[in-house]
Structure 1
Amino acid sequence: MVRLTLDLIAKSKNHFKKKRGLSFAEYLKTLTHLHFSSKNIEDIGDLSMCRNLTVLYLYGNQITQICNLDFASNLTHLYMQNNNITHIDNLFNLRKLSKLYLGTNRIAVVEGLEQLCELKELHLENQRLAPGEKLLFDPRTLLSLAESLCVLNINNNNIDDIKDLTVLRELQQFSAADNKLHNIEELEDVFSLWPQLLQMDLSGNPVCKKAKYRDRLITVCTNLEILNGREINELNRQFLINWKACKEAKKKKNNQRMTTGQLVPHPLSSNMGQGPHPGHVYSHTMQRWKPEQSLRAHKLNISGLLGRVAVSPSLINGHGDA
């Protein structure tokens, strides 16, 4: 088993080179960057003498657990992608950590980040999950990152909803490509609460196949500059925003008319009870009014009226008006 220890650092040609008057212990105190990527490392040993370490590269190894980093209170960047890590543990003392790379591991739950109040970037793409499993988020961790996190990458993790991420209102870059997001209304609700969002990638999700999904997201994300790798034209955005506002205003007006009982008259309603104009054609119970029918009806009405006048008792008795 390959273990990252001080002895391994001492043997590395890329690190300790003894300088005149500088001991190994003194060198470790000045060390800020440690490069041990793709070295088949399976475990992290005691590195507590490297107290000024700020950047640690451990990607591409066989590490299964994050451990022995309590000493690294000055660490700002931690690269541990492409390992075999199953849980996010033992990071509570890394209060200055700003970038955390944990992509391509075996993490099923995002947790254990409650103390990382300065974390700005979190990369969790391509977790090697069990069949049917999806990446989940601990609400406590999300809440603790709400005021700091600016970049989140959760590509290809079988995620089908992001409602839990609503609290991350400082996000500027969001990548959730190749997941199972399908509900456009849910996405609109979440993105409307991310006013700082500048770049977003949702490519490879079912929602991208829905009609006008891009237009709808552009109108919701008013500061978005890039969507799925394509820049957003500002004139196009303004047109879509104005179109949406006009549509909503019209809908609101119609709703108000319905609630107050002010129904919009049908084009034919103004002629109700008067009969059609000569030559007018309309549909009623799948029948058409024809000009000759209109003329015939008028003749019948006149004949009936003359008949009633002819037999009026008042006229017979001589009491009618002259």
Structure 2
Amino acid sequence: MVRLTVDLIAKSRNHFKKKRGLAFPEYLKTLTHLHFSSKNIEEIGDLSMCRNLTVLYLYDNQITHICNLDFAYNLTHLYMQNNNISQIDNLSNLQKLSKLYLGGNRIAVVDGLETLCELKELHLENQRLAPGEKLLLDPKTLLSLAESLSVLNISHNNIDDIKDLTVLMELQHFSAADNKLHNMEELEHVFSHWPQLLQMDLSGNPVCKKPKYRDRLITVCNSLVILDGREINELTRQFLINWKASKDAKKKKNNKQITAGPPVLYPITNYINMGQGPHLGHIHGHSVQRWNPQQPLRSNIIVHTDLS
């Protein structure tokens, strides 16, 4: 088993040889960036002497658990994509962490990030999930990230709804390509709560085939600059906003007329009994036989009157 330890750092040509003038323990204290990607590492060992570590590159390895990073109070960037991690653990002490890369692992539930109040980027794309399984994001974790997270990548994870993401009001870049999103109304509701959104990618989802898909999202996301890799023309946006406003106003007017109720229908006999009513010779442009008091009416003629 290959373990990342200070001994492995000492043997690395990319590290210790660059500062031979320092004793090794002193060198470890000055270390801020640690590059150990693609080294077949399966486990993180004791690195506590690297107390000033800020950036750790461990992508493309065989790591199954996140561990032994409690010492790294100053860590801001953690790259652990393309490993074998199935659960997000032991990150509670990394309260300065701003970028977390966990794409290409085996994570089914995203949780354990509640203390990362400065996390700005979370990359979770392409999890290797079991057939029929989808990536789930814990609502408690999402709420804890609501005021900090600006970049979220959840592409290619069999996701079919994102209503729990509504709380992420600071998002500026959102990627959810190649999922199973299909509910246009749900997307409009969620995106209406993201006033900072600048760039979004939903390509490869069933919802992209809905009529007016692009037009509807452009009118909801007023700050959006790029949608599915295509830039949004400002004149096009303004035209669509005006078109939607006109359509909504017309719909509101029609609903108001319907709410007022249908016209009232009165039997003509009521008018006759009351000694009032329209001239019986012509009713709404139709010729009607004049009534003879000596003869009974053959039928109960209905007069349509507009009382408005």
TM range (shorter): 0.7 to 0.9
Structure 1 regions of 5+ residues with no counterpart?
A: 264-270, 276-297, 309-322
- Which residue in 2 is equivalent to 1:217? 217
Given that residues 18 and 24 in structure 1 are in contact (C-alpha distance below 8 angstroms), is that contact kept between their aligned partners in structure 2?
no
Compare CA radii of gyration and give the structure with the larger one. 1
Distance 1:110 1:220 in 2: 28
* Other-structure match for 2:240: 240
Query: In the alignment, is the contact (CA less than 8 A) between 1:198 and 1:225 conserved in 2?
Result: yes
The one-letter code of the counterpart of 1:200 is M
Give the 5 Å matches for 1:116-265. 116-261=116-261
Q: How far off is 1:259 after superposition?
A: 1.7
Summarize the Cα distance change of 1:6–1:249 in structure 2 as closer, same or farther, 3 Å threshold.
Answer: same
**What is the CA deviation profile of residues 103-135 of structure 1, one whole-angstrom value per residue up to 9, with x for unaligned ones?**
000000000000000000000000000011000
Q: CA deviation at 1:195?
A: 0.4
Give the AA of the match of 2:96: K
Secondary structure of 2:8's match?
Answer: helix
* Aligned counterparts, 1:50-65, within 5 A: 50-65=50-65
CA distance in 2, matches of 1:227, 1:18: 45
TM-score (norm 1): 0.82
Counterparts of 2:186 and 2:18 in 1: how far apart (Å)?
59
Go from structure 1 to structure 2 and tell me whether the alpha carbon gap of 1:168 and 1:26 turns closer, same or farther (over 3 Å shift): same
Distance 2:283 2:8 in 1: 96
How far off its partner does 1:261 sit? 3.1
DSSP 3-state at the match of 2:17: coil
Structure 2 unaligned residues grouped into runs of 5+: 264-281, 293-308
Provide the residue aligned with 1:94 in structure 2: 94
Aligned to 2:295: none
TM-score, length basis structure 2: 0.86
Q: 1:289 — aligned with what? A: none
| Helix, strand or coil at the partner of 1:17 | helix
Deviation readout 1:220-244 (Å, 9 max, x if unpaired): 0000000000000000000000000
- State the alpha-carbon separation in 1 of the partners of residues 2 and 20 from structure 2: 31
Q: Does 1:72 align with 2:72?
A: yes
Give the aligned residue type for 1:274. Answer: G
Deviation at 1:255, TM superposition (A): 1.2
Query: 2: CA distance between counterparts of 1:204 and 1:26?
Result: 51
Structure with the higher fraction of residues in helix conformation? 1
- Equivalent residue for 1:3? 3
Match status 1:273 vs 2:263: no
Distance (whole Å) between structure 2 residues aligned to residue 21 and residue 88 of structure 1: 39
Q: What CA distance in whole angstroms lies between the structure 1 residues aligned with 2:107 and 2:22?
A: 42
Give the counterpart letter for 2:60 in structure 1.
Answer: G
Give, in whole Å, the separation in 2 of the partners of 1:259 and 1:183.
Answer: 29
Residues 293-304 of structure 1 aligned to structure 2 (within 5 Å):
none
Could you tell me which residue of structure 2 aligns to residue 110 of structure 1? 110
Q: Which digits, 9 at most, give the CA deviation of each residue in 1:194-232, with x for residues without a partner?
A: 000000000000000111100000000000000000000
Cross-structure match for 2:297: none
Measured at CA, do residues 171 and 38 of structure 1 come closer, stay the same or move farther in structure 2, by a change above 3 Å?
A: same
Number of matched residues?
274
Find the counterpart in structure 1 of residue 298 from structure 2.
Answer: none
Change in 2 beyond 3 A, CA 1:157/1:254: same
Q: 1:253 to 1:52 in 2, by over 3 A?
A: same
Residue aligned with 1:152, SS = strand
Give 1:258 deviation, angstroms. 1.9
Residue in 1 aligned with 2:271? none
